[in-house]
């Protein structure tokens, strides 16, 4: 197999090693400083004090009493956490008489706490025992028979203000009543009562009525019958509509650009989610380091209420050095440069220089500010050297067109030039082509960063002509889909439910056999995000001399069972997965033969995004591989 000499960076590795050494020495100095501070803050023994005195002092430090609560688990745990008697345990000189007086107050405190759980007729017994042989000299035992839980027998939810008068408010009134969590026959608790009122208010303020409030609320408890009657009245205030957005705090970038990026629907009914979406679009645009949108509801016309955008400008230029590692390509070093307002054009330019064991690339993407209809012009260029299959490819790509992004959908139209120079014995012929492309991506996940349900779909279509050899037309189509479906029967909480994740990917290049298609437009698969158990782009077409090359047809499928990990009844940030992947590449659709990978792994919800760790077995290659991945992208 012919290999091209690796990309040399004679000055980079010494610099990287020197930087790592400096960081290590700095960490050691900080650690030493921390140890010195801890030593300084630790009391030193007085000169002349012997070990016997120190041991005696430690032995004499103990709790004044121990506390035992005998009750049903839910009641027991709640009392242990919240009984005021707990505060006095560490007073080591607390006498028996003082403790007896505290126990009288403890009974009233326990009744009050049980009332918040909906138990208004409990039987409570408190006992004080001398325990001279135990670590604590006394023991307080609280025995609780909670009695019958109080059930909700009546719920009345009333409204005043514009929501009660407007025909458009009927939908929200119905939504508040339908979403009321403390329904008749449900056990009453103070926490449940508070949550129900807050949930109703949240539903009311989410649309049209941002100044709504709880006008009055009353819970009538009949302890004899263990029944609760609940009444709450909401005052909605006026209905609001979005007015003009006012940008404050920005000196570097045009307020008009902020309005176009935010796309706040001026003149429409207030919607909290639309306000948050506009804030997110501004925050992710790259022009601002911080963004906070608020509705100015004081002293203004409710039908055109201003939206205040308090922003802090991002630097005009930014350079980021990155170091990473993937199981597909090994160690990675990257340098990113961002220019938020290019001279003359005023566009935003994002450029990257990246090196890893298999890929070296430099690219740049220039993007205009969105126009009034949210479409923006863009152009980009890329030079790349990549180990593709069993040979190396030097490729160049130029593209330009228009794109738009809405809340869930991205669309684009662009013209693209591709040139692929293939190197190595048995490599396909070098080729170039020009294509006109359309792309559409829809994301309908409950959380785009760490989804637990929903689906996403992406489609790309391109029509082009080859520019090398005989000029022939061709069509390129590609699609992928991911669906995440909770399994209802696995747990009572949505966060605890197991999930099934289904993934599908397909592609085709339709052309004459004589057409020389750039290999960058054809397909390979295998690796972290495709068929696990195989190395990066290991699955392709086997040529006459046994090498792996790109093919014109692609098919990939995956099924994965995701199960949240619960420890001692508490939901953790970990979950386990088992999966089966299959994929194939061929030059003819009928020749697709799937290669299968099976395995298991774990997911961790880290502060910077989900971390994926998988151990997979490639059935066709009879090898185990570890796959690591950070973050979720679709």
pLDDT in tens, 552-564: 999 999 999 999 9
Residue 3 has pLDDT above 80, yes or no: no
Residue found under tokens 């570097």 = 252
The pLDDT, as a whole number, for residue 495 is: 62
- Closest-CA residue to 123 (of 98, 104, 142): 142
Contact 354, 323 (CB under 8 A): no
pTM for the model: 0.71
Highest mean pLDDT (candidates 81-90, 252-261, 604-613): 252-261
Residue 35 has pLDDT above 90, yes or no: no
Residues 6+ apart with CB under 8 A from 213: 201, 234, 235, 237
The two tokens of residue 285 are 């645009």
Identify the band that residue 99 occupies on the pLDDT scale cut at 50, 70 and 90.
confident
Average pLDDT value for residue range 567-596: 93
Handedness of CA 269, 273, 275, 277 (dihedral sign): negative
Q: Say if residue 113 is exposed, middle or buried (CB neighbours under 10 Å; 0-12, 13-18, 19+).
A: buried
The pLDDT, as a whole number, for residue 74 is: 84
The pLDDT, as a whole number, for residue 53 is: 45
59 vs 367, more confident:
367
Q: Give the whole-number percent of the chain exceeding pLDDT 90.
A: 63
Q: Tens digits of per-residue pLDDT, 183-229? A: 999 999 999 999 999 999 999 999 999 999 999 999 999 988 999 99
Residue 398 has pLDDT above 60, yes or no: yes
Average pLDDT value for residue range 256-268: 92
Residue 27 has pLDDT above 50, yes or no: no
Backbone angles phi, psi at 626, to 5 degrees: -100, 135
Helices vs. strands in the chain: H and E counts, helices first: 9, 27
Q: Say if residue 145 is exposed, middle or buried (CB neighbours under 10 Å; 0-12, 13-18, 19+).
A: middle
Q: Tens digits of per-residue pLDDT, 162-181? A: 999 888 889 999 999 999 99
- DSSP, residue by residue, 348-385: EEEEEEEEESSEEEEEEEEEPPP-TTS-EEEEEEEEEE
> What is the Cα–Cα distance from 136 to 91, expressed in whole angstroms?
11
State how far the alpha carbon of 461 is from the alpha carbons of 398, 431, 436, 509, 584, in Å: 17, 20, 8, 10, 21
Give the chain's mean pLDDT.
Answer: 86
Residue 349 has pLDDT above 70, yes or no: yes
């Amino acid at each position: 197999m012919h290999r091209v000499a690796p990309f040399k960076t004679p000055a980079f590795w010494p610099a990287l090693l020197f930087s790592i050494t400096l960081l290590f020495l700095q960490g050691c100095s900080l650690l030493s400083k921390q140890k010195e501070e801890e030593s300084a803050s630790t009391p030193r023994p007085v000169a002349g004090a012997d070990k016997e005195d120190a041991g005696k002092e430690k032995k004499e430090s103990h709790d004044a009493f121990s506390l035992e609560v005998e009750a049903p688990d839910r009641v027991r745990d709640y009392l242990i956490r919240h009984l005021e008697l707990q505060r006095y345990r560490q007073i080591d000189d607390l006498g028996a008489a003082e403790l007896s007086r505290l126990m009288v107050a403890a009974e009233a405190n326990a009744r009050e706490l049980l009332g918040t759980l909906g138990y208004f007729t409990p039987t409570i017994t408190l006992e004080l025992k001398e325990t001279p042989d135990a670590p604590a000299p006394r023991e307080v035992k609280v025995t609780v028979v909670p009695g019958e839980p109080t059930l909700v027998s009546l719920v009345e939810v009333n409204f005043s203000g514009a929501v009660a008068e407007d025909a458009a408010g009927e939908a929200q009134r119905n939504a508040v009543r339908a979403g009321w969590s403390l329904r008749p026959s449900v056990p009453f608790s103070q926490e449940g009562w508070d949550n129900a009122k807050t949930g109703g208010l949240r539903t009311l303020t989410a649309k049209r009525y941002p100044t709504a409030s709880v006008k009055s609320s009353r819970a009538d408890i009949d302890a004899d019958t263990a029944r609760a009657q609940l009444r709450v009245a909401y005052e909605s205030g006026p209905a609001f509509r979005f007015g003009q957005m006012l940008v404050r705090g920005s000196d570097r970038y045009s307020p008009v650009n902020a309005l176009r990026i935010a796309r706040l629907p001026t003149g429409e009914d207030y919607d909290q989610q639309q306000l948050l979406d506009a804030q997110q679009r501004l925050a992710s645009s790259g022009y601002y380091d911080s963004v906070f949108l608020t509705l100015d509801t004081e002293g203004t016309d409710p039908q055109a209420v201003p939206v205040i955008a308090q922003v802090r400008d991002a630097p005009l230029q930014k350079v980021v050095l990155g170091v990473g590692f993937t199981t597909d390509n090994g160690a990675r070093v990257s340098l990113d440069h961002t220019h938020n307002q290019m001279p003359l054009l005023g566009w935003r330019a994002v450029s990257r220089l990246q090196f890893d064991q298999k890929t070296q690339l430099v690219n740049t993407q220039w993007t205009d500010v969105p126009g009034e209809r949210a479409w923006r012009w863009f152009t980009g260029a890329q030079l790349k050297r990549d180990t593709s299959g069993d040979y190396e490819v030097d490729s160049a790509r130029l593209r330009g067109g228009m794109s738009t992004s809405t809340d869930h959908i991205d669309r684009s139209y662009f013209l693209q030039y591709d040139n692929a120079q293939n190197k190595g014995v048995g490599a396909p012929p070098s080729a170039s082509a020009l294509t006109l492309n359309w792309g559409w991506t829809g994301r309908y996940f409950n959380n785009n960063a760490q989804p637990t349900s929903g689906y996403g779909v992406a489609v790309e279509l391109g029509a082009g002509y080859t520019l090398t050899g005989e000029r022939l037309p061709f069509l390129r189509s590609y699609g992928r889909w991911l669906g995440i479906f909770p399994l209802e029967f696995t747990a009572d909480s949505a966060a605890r439910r197991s999930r099934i994740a289904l993934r599908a990917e397909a592609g085709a290049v339709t052309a004459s056999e004589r057409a020389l298609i750039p290999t960058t437009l054809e397909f390979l698969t295998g690796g972290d995000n495709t068929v696990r158990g195989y190395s990066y782009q290991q699955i392709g077409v086997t040529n006459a001399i046994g090498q792996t090359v790109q093919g014109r047809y692609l098919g990939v499928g995956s099924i994965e069972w995701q199960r949240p990990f619960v420890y001692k009844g508490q939901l953790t940030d970990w979950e386990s997965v088992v999966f089966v992947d299959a994929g194939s590449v061929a030059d003819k659709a009928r020749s697709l033969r799937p290669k299968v990978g099976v395995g298991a792994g774990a997911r961790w919800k880290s502060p910077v995004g989900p971390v994926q760790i998988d151990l997979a077995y490639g059935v066709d290659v009879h090898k185990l591989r570890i796959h690591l991945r950070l973050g979720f992208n679709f």
